[in-house]
Amino acid sequence: MLKILEQLRGPQKMRVVCNGHPALRKNSAPVENVTKDIRELAERMIVTMLKGEMVGVGLAAPQVGINKRMIVLHTCLKDGASRAGATAGELLLEPRMPIALINPEIVSSSEEVATETEGCLSLPGVDGTVTRPEQVVIQASTLDGENFQIECGGLLGRCFQHEIDHLNGVLFYDRLSKTEQKKNYIIMKKIEKQEKRRLNS
C-alpha cells in the first residue's frame, strides 16, 4: 500500500548532503547500465534540484550521497529559450531540460577563461568567484542511450564543469582564491560539523 501511495505522489525529494559527507570527496564510478534504479534516481535528483529548500541549476549524484557519474541540469531561461549567442550545446540541450546525463566528461577546454560567482547546494551560505574555461567540449550520454560530443558555453558550460568536479570529489570551494577560502572557512567548518552530526545520529 505504501509503495502504491509513493507511486501516486511521484518521485520524492532526496536529502542534499553537505560538506563533511564522504560522498563529496570520492571519485564516482561510471554508470555501466541504465537500470530502473538509475532512472528513478535521475527523476528524484531532478525533483530535488527544482523543488528543494534551495533551487539549483545542476545537481550531481554525489550530492545525494551516491557516487555514480550522473548529473541533472536545468540552466535554460524561464521561457525555455536559449541566450543570445548560445553555443551548440546550449541550443541542443536547453530545450530538453531538465535533463539527466550519465558519464559526462570534458574533452577539451578553451584558452579563454571567465570569472563568475558560484554557489553550491552542498555548501549553503558559501560563495565566491571561480575562474574556469569560457567554453568546454563535453562528451556524455542521455538515459536513452544518445551519445553526444558538443561545445558548451555560458551558464551551461560552467555548470557542466562544476558538476563534473563533484564527480571527481572536487568542491568549488577548492577553486577559490586563498582569500575567499579564508572568508568562507568558518561557515565551511560549521556545515561540516552539522553534516557529521547528521551522519552520526
**Residue 6 falls in the annotated catalytic set:** no
Q: 134-162: buried (b, 16+ CB within 10 Å) or exposed (e) per residue? A: bbbbbebbbbeeeeeebbbbbbbbbbbbb
Angstrom distance (rounded) from CA 68 to CA 102: 9
Give just the sign of the alpha carbon dihedral 84, 55, 16, 177: positive
Task: For residue 125, count other CB atoms closer than 10 A to its CB.
Answer: 10
Could you tell me if 158 and 123 are in contact, meaning their C-beta atoms sit under 8 angstroms apart?
no
From the candidates 163, 180, 192, 195, give the one annotated as an active-site residue: 163
Active-site residues: which are they? Answer: 163
